[in-house]
Amino acid sequence: MGNKRVKIRTMEELSGAIGVSRPTLSKYFHDSQSVRDTMRIRIEEGLEQYDYSPNIFAMNQNRRLTKNIGIVVPYLADPFFAEIVRNIERWCIEKGYWPILFSSHGEKKLENKALATLMTLKPAGALIAPLGRISDMDAIQRFTDEVPTVAFDSNLAVGEAFVGSDNFQSIGLIVDYLCETGEPPCFLEMPPVNPNALTRRKAYVQAMEHRGLTPEIVHVGKQGWEFERVGLSEGKRLIAERKFPTNTVLCSNDRIAIGLIAAAYEQGLRVGRGHGCAIRIAGHDDHPGSRYTSPPLTTVKQDYQGIAKRSVETLFDLVESGAKLTSRNETLLSGTLVERDSA
């Protein structure tokens, strides 16, 4: 970056300053390869000297669709989504798109509002992780009718495509691990906020039956997205009342497991697979905090980067081909076992 002296406010001014017509500049900004090399070089040299950035609003006004990519997540305070979003944003920027982030904060009303706002931004596409059960399917449907959309994490039947984890594979993996290293696990459910909850339960049942074992599911009464709290309070109750059918507990996700480990500690139960341990606890996701529980949590790592990358790639394929897909495209990524000390 040279020392940009003169500030230039409009393309018109820029055009005069560097001696290139405005339509050519417009073309250049739309696609720098679409003008002759001599022009491109002259423009780029000009851009070094003058400090100009195009007016985003004016740019987007006349475009049929913009370079905006909408991202909607259910809960940004969940590090899982924070991490995914980080990766998605990176990929978008790299491809020359402009990510705009919305969080539903777990509320249907806010999810709808985010979609409505997004629509007015004429985005080229959108990546959404729906709230799930409480989502307003009609609203989402109306949105996806207008905007090419890839759903991720939570597989509601919306959007042109879905990218997420292969829960059957990943749950199978951890069930196998737990069975091979000790007592078969029971399954501590998460609140059924989204399809993952259901799928993971099914996957657990299938994995157990596949081994000729009886699945044991522990339901939780609580609702909402504060999974750690659910894990803690339900965990305490279940331990106190000796309601866990087995001493190996597979949790529907790591945040539940984090709460449960806290509950076990509080109840004086030693967690782990070693001598003198009273309970084994395993999770699912490899949540950023799961390395720092006591003991560290054994879990299945979701392929964060993979999900982000595939989601973005899938979306751009959609956007750039311009075509509506004939059939819904589902990508399921595999998890990998992360063996730590809790199970």
Distance separating alpha carbons of residues 129 and 147, to the nearest angstrom: 15
- Considering only residues 6, 7, 23, 240, which one is a binding residue for DNA as defined by CB under 7 A? 23
* C-beta of 122 vs 133, nearer to a second copy: 122
Distance separating alpha carbons of residues 188 and 82, to the nearest angstrom: 24
Is 237 among the residues that bind DNA (CB under 7 A)? no
Among the residue ranges 18-26, 77-85, 149-157, 232-240, the one whose residues contact DNA (CB under 7 A): 18-26
Among the residue ranges 8-16, 162-170, 205-213, 254-262, the one whose residues contact a second copy (CB under 8 A): 254-262
- Considering only residues 17, 22, 82, 168, which one is a binding residue for DNA as defined by CB under 7 A? 22
Binding positions for DNA, 135-174, rule CB under 7 A: none
* C-beta of 209 vs 266, nearer to a second copy: 266
Cis preceding-peptide flag for 79 (omega within 30 of 0):
no
3 state SS for the chain: CCCCCCECCCHHHHHHHHCCCHHHHHHHHHCHHHCCHHHHHHHHHHHHHCECCCCHHHHHHHCCCCCEEEEEECCCCCHHHHHHHHHHHHHHHHCCCEEEEEECCCCHHHHHHHHHHHHHCCCCEEEECCCCCCCCHHHHHHHHHHCCEEEECCCCCCCCEEEEECHHHHHHHHHHHHHHHCCCCEEECCCCCCHHHHHHHHHHHHHHHHCCCCCCEECCCCCCCCHHHHHHHHHHHHHHCCCCCCCEEEECCHHHHHHHHHHHHHCCCCECCCCCCCEEEECCECCCCHHHCCCCCEEEECCHHHHHHHHHHHHHHHHHHCCCCCCCEEEEECCEEECCCCC
Is 121 among the residues that bind a second copy (CB under 8 A)? yes
Q: Which does 29 bind (CB under 5 to 8 A by kind): a second copy, DNA, none?
A: DNA
Q: Which does 12 bind (CB under 5 to 8 A by kind): DNA, a second copy, none?
A: DNA
Binding positions for a second copy, 54-93, rule CB under 8 A: 54-58, 60-61, 76-77, 79, 82-83, 85-86, 89-90
Is 59 among the residues that bind DNA (CB under 7 A)? yes
- Considering only residues 184, 185, 259, 335, which one is a binding residue for a second copy as defined by CB under 8 A? 259
Is 119 among the residues that bind a second copy (CB under 8 A)? yes
Q: Which does 105 bind (CB under 5 to 8 A by kind): a second copy, DNA, none?
A: a second copy
- Considering only residues 32, 48, 54, 211, which one is a binding residue for DNA as defined by CB under 7 A? 54
- Considering only residues 19, 212, 268, 322, which one is a binding residue for DNA as defined by CB under 7 A? 19
Is 100 among the residues that bind a second copy (CB under 8 A)? yes
Evaluate whether 192 touches 228 at the Cβ level (below 8 Å).
no
Please, what is the minimum distance in Å from the beta carbon of residue 214 to a second copy?
Answer: 31
Please, what is the minimum distance in Å from the beta carbon of residue 296 to a second copy?
Answer: 7
- Considering only residues 33, 120, 326, 327, which one is a binding residue for a second copy as defined by CB under 8 A? 120
- Site for DNA, rule CB under 7 A: 9-12, 19-24, 26-27, 29-30, 34-36, 38-39, 54-55, 58-59, 61-64
